[in-house]
Structure 1
Amino acid sequence: MSQPLEQQLPLEELQKTIQWDAHGLVPAVVQDAATKDVLMVAYMNRESLAKSVETGETWFWSRSRQELWHKGATSGNTQQISDLRYDCDGDTLLVLVRRNGPACHTGEDTCFYRSAAKAGDVSPAAPSTSLAGEGRFAVLGELEQIIKERYETRPEGAYTTYLFEKGIDKILKKVGEETAESIIAAKNGDNDELRLEVSDLLYHLLVLLRERNLPLDDIMSELDRRHERPRRD
């Protein structure tokens, strides 16, 4: 369920920080919070930015229709904002979202589904030695690394920085909230909502592990040891 964003910067100050163009607009790059795929690029004005912060979902300004539009209001493919950032020049927004369906009006997951050019013979990256970085669970290893970097550098305005600054009690509160919301989604039989809530829960669990300096590899090793134990049934 969407809710207002926890602001690191008051809305009025954020609106003053943004470098609006001559039409009062700023480009907003929308990125999947879990996969890091770039989903779309749209424009916000002061009002749509305010509504995005107020509702926790993406609102934009349509240059063709000259009106506000709530992403997914008609299709149901809404985008719940997990983090809202601005670049070093203040002339571009980065909106990390949990999406309820495709981002593109064509039905594709991302608007950037067509390739214009690709690199030729590029050597593959060295495989990760981390248990969490193997196969289909590679995103967990990548997310753990990002959280580690946030813990060490504490970039201003990042949601992960906010959690670490607030400390263990805030992190545990979020883990509890996401656990409860996952339970509710499962009880309601809503797998789309369950997917979103469990993704949030896993993220906050990784934040908790970093706060306690417990590597994800230790969890994976424990699961591996349990798998190797003789069955008792």
Structure 2
Amino acid sequence: MEIDFKKYTDGLVPVVVQDKLTRNVLMLGFMNEEAVKQTLETRKVTFFSRKKGALWMKGEESGNTLNLVSLTSDCDNDTLLAEVIPDGPVCHKGSDTCWGEKNQPKFGFLSYLEDVIEERKNHPEMEGSYVASLFRKGVNKVAQKVGEEAVELVIESKDDNDLAFLNEAADLLFHTLILLQTKGFHLRDVDKTLRSRHKFNPSSE
């Protein structure tokens, strides 16, 4: 890995820190050559603190360390990306990130769809809403719909109609999202369960 430390007068390159699993940006720090060397050797992210004028391992006082998965430079070799597994909140103010955000996984359109479903759950009286009507009918009806969609997906998988198969897969996923919220859960809870089964090991990456 080549790093152009000489591009900056103070010899410090910016380091973007990203959670390996959630893909969320956690913080921004700076490293000199010694900080990079120590980070790679210890697998604990270490910065150069301008305030202290010395190396500073993130979490050395709070215990909220950043476990290094990978450290790479960008196309100009003047900015680093540190992929990490954080032990606890990253910001010194106690939040998950230095932007005050929750470090939760994001699922693109599925996250948006979850928000819509949750809105319908909070307003089951909403007329004309299919989702709200399911919430009104209760968990047994929602579970029944999931079962029906699962059977339809299996049937379509035996044919060669890709569009029909994808439509049934979408229906099953949609109703599963509703069932999750009927039971008080979200996709992030399923994500957490899957990650616990995988027993993710940063050193194996």
> Does 1:200 find its partner at 2:187?
no
Segments of 4+ moved more than 6 angstroms = none
The offset of 1:28, in angstroms, is 0.3
**Among 87, 90, 96, which residue is 1:103 paired with?**
90
How large is the RMSD of aligned CA atoms in angstroms? 3.5
> Does 1:86 find its partner at 2:70?
no
Over 3 Å counting, the alpha-carbon distance change for 1:139 and 1:52 in structure 2 is: farther
The offset of 1:40, in angstroms, is 0.6
Contact 2:5–2:33 (8 Å) recurs in 1: no
The offset of 1:89, in angstroms, is 1.0
**What TM-score, normalized to structure 1?**
0.46
Tell me the secondary structure at the aligned position of residue 187 of structure 2. helix
> Does 1:125 find its partner at 2:109?
yes
Give the total of aligned pairs: 127
Query: For residue 187 of structure 2, what is the amino acid of its counterpart?
Result: R
Tell me the secondary structure at the aligned position of residue 57 of structure 1. coil
Query: For residue 88 of structure 1, what is the amino acid of its counterpart?
Result: C
Distance 1:79 1:67 in 2: 18
Query: For residue 95 of structure 1, what is the amino acid of its counterpart?
Result: A
Query: For residue 73 of structure 1, what is the amino acid of its counterpart?
Result: E
The offset of 1:125, in angstroms, is 3.4
Over 3 Å counting, the alpha-carbon distance change for 1:99 and 1:45 in structure 2 is: same
Gaps of 5+ in 2: 102-107, 114-168, 178-185
- Which protein is bigger by CA-based radius of gyration? 2
- Measured against aligned partners, the alpha-carbon deviations of 1:67-113 in whole angstroms (never above 9, x if no partner) come to 11011111111111011111111111000101111110001000011
Distance 1:85 1:139 in 2: 30
Percent of matched pairs sharing the same residue: 37
**What TM-score, normalized to structure 2?**
0.52
Distance 2:31 2:97 in 1: 19
- Measured against aligned partners, the alpha-carbon deviations of 1:8-37 in whole angstroms (never above 9, x if no partner) come to x4xxxx34x556411101000111111111
The offset of 1:199, in angstroms, is 3.2
Gaps of 5+ in 1: 1-8, 115-123, 141-193, 208-233
Contact 1:45–1:60 (8 Å) recurs in 2: yes
